[in-house]
């Protein structure tokens, strides 16, 4: 079953975050993932949720998501994101 990573990201250090942003696509691709949403305009239509940045990734299944997220390939980049931004990240199985 297809799985998604949904991340709400508030960038606190744009210079450091740029290093993360530049390095992550190659790791996503290595694990068979692809970007569905990467930043862009957000328009709130219901409720009070208005993230400053939203990212949605698609992978073949939840196991592949976890392989990517916990991989050595992503480890150092994830540490950069943790320093440069405040994030909320979900793994979701979908259709």
pLDDT at 93 over 90: yes
Do residues 10 and 82 touch, judged by C-beta distance below 8 A?
Answer: no
What pLDDT does residue 39 have? 87
What pLDDT does residue 33 have? 98
CA distance 28 to 74: 9
CA distance 62 to 55: 17
Q: How confident is residue 90, by pLDDT bands cut at 50, 70 and 90?
A: very high
Cα maximum dimension of the chain: 39
SS3 letters across the chain = CCEEEEEEEEECCHHHHHHHHHHHHHHHHHCCCEEEEECCCCCCCCCCCCCCCEEEEEECCHHHHHHHHCCHHHHHHHHHHHHHEEEEEEEEECC
pLDDT in tens, 33-85: 999 999 899 999 999 998 999 999 999 999 999 999 999 999 999 999 999 99
Length of the chain: 95
pLDDT at 95 over 90: no
């Amino acid at each position: 079953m297809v799985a998604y990573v949904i991340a709400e990201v508030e960038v606190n250090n744009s210079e450091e975050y740029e290093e993360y942003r530049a390095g992550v696509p190659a790791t996503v691709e290595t694990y068979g993932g692809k970007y569905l949403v990467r930043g862009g305009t957000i328009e709130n239509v219901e409720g009070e949720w208005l993230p400053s940045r939203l990212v949605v990734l698609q992978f073949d299944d939840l196991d592949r998501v976890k392989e990517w997220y916990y991989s050595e390939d992503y480890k150092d980049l994830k540490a950069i994101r943790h320093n440069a931004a405040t994030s909320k990240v979900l793994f979701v199985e979908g259709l």
